[in-house]
A and B are shown apart, each in its own frame.
Chain A
Amino acid sequence: MKLSIAEALRKGIRDEMERDPRVFCIGEDIGIPGGYGGAFTVTLGLEKDFRDRIIDTPISETGIFGAACGAAMMGMRPIADVQYGDFLFCAMDQIANQIAKTRYMSGGQYTLPLVMRAPVGATGRGAQHAQSLEPFFLSLPGIKVVAPATAYDALGLLRAAVRDEDPVLMFEHKLLYGSKGPRQETGVLDASSEIPDEDYVVPIGRAVVRREGADVTVVAHLLMMHHSLAAATQLEAEGISCEVIDPRSLWPLDTDRILNSVRKTGRVVIVEESPKQWGVGAEIAAQIAEAVPDCLLAPIRRVAAPNTPAPFSPVMETFYVPQPQRIAEQIRSLVQEY
């Protein structure tokens, strides 16, 4: 059966709630009859079958993530979500000081098996509904961070996250959900997948090679993975062979898979939708430079958003988010120069 990311996540949440009575969802507008099923329809209709375990809250992000923290410590498996990833900052104390540190501070007495879900990406809403927040949370020991770019991975990583004993933050991209009806986005990409019947998981910490190639390793997640694949197709016609790696998990990061590719190609382009300053690309580049400096034929190149908030104007926003054309230009010039 072919599902969009929103449908795959909905199926995953439903299956996990049926399988395990400890699983529940908590968030804003997630189970209001006649409502949206969350900002991007992921939980649409689930309240009909799980009245007590789809918990709608007031607009209280600190309350949501605090409650998830406390319930997880008592052995429940909460799935807490925000409507837009940007609102994670409202709950930052609960996420950064409590959820990420509680197990450690207690000397391992308490575990926090909880999932946090957050939509990211600049999508015509201005700077406070746009951020790709991965770097903030990747500098936070104590949580795991995943970012599925396809429906297959969304379902597999959701199952893995719910079954994981540690806090897992899942970033989802607004343009990849495939939300339908009044919550449909403009400018979407098709990230739907054929979903097998079996109960598969995508292990947290395992990257996937989306496209094999010989000349350059391109590391990209979420929307940037799709844009990088488009760039790779374009470059193939010019005789440039790109290997596109989708980390899927950003922490733990499948460094081995990336390094193996770099050993083969000797060139690296890292693409992300966050601002370039202190970003995902900076960390991955540093890891590569530390581990395999002798394998590099060229300086590591980063393609990222400018070091500004996301602008509203469609003209500026299109400039802000790395597009396939810009990614292709950067890869092309790197391969031509070195």
Chain B
Amino acid sequence: MEPKPLTMWEQMQLQGYSRRHFVQLCGWLAAAAGIEYSALGKVVYALETKARPPVVWYHFQECTCCSESFIRSSHPLVADIVLDRISLDYSETLQAAAGHQAEAALHNTLTKYKGQYLMVVEGSVPTAAEGAYCCIAGRSAMDIVQEGAEGAKAIIAWGSCASNGCVQAASPNPTSATPMHELLHGKPLINVPGCPPIGEVMAGVIVHLLTFDRLPELTDTGRPKAFYSRRVHDTCYRRPNFDAGLFAESFDDENARRGYCLYKLGCRGPVTYNACGVTKWNEGTSFPIQSGHPCIGCSEAGFWDNSPFYRQLPSFPGFGIESTADRVGAIAAIATGVGVGIHAVATGVRDARTRKADEANKGGE
């Protein structure tokens, strides 16, 4: 008979952790998942009573940046997730076994935990050439992904590859790279886009599922609201420069050196929903705009074809509209050109005033 898996609290006791440490850890996990303090009791209960949920992690057409981002998570730490919180039963990047032994580990979990395991997918699946553009163990990704989905409790599509096809789906999409939501139906599916997604966002999604045993609330494109309901533009610390009409005209010009808005250099922040402006990257160290490069919109479907990247967006939709890239394009064409125009006029007064102030400062140097 299989030994009963230990709960996380039992495991921590074995490792010599005190109850106080345990509750503290629950607090960190809760914070990582964006859970309110009042719900902390639920987190404690969940980790006291649950064995580690089995997770199978597939790689198809991808570059492994999602796995790399995942191991960058600082809260929780990835070692804590992999050793103490989940049972990562299949991961081509990290698992010790290879070849037949790896495949056996996978199939053991698919059978033994049917209906209970979490399936996470990194990469798109090519459907052209009868699946020959991506094969693992002699089987096509098309077959493998359907087999995994059949017994999955829920599916996470990691990154833009699995969520929207990403770079290999850019025109002309030579291999018919296809995202999960177009292939898998009838199962709970969470899209966590980005190239890659932020490490703490990935960890946060897992901890949310683990703690509450249900999906986080999703946007109309299937992304967790907690991380993908605000435009980068609306959470950008350089937004006041945009409102004031203060723009970098070239990289490394005087305005770029002052950290002015990168909109004229092609910033996609106005049409991109992601947590970069708030959660930031690598334990809050920075995010693309803070380090001087425009957002390229890597969490949006079709962003590779919304290029050249350094061409200024012609216009963009108004506030708080959640939309697909197609809708954004359509709305942008008719409605918001007007909005931006008005916005520019309204901010023009402030613009002149700020510039004057800046000039005064310069004179004093």
A binds B: no
Residues of A within 8 A of B (CB): none
Residues of B within 8 A of A (CB): none
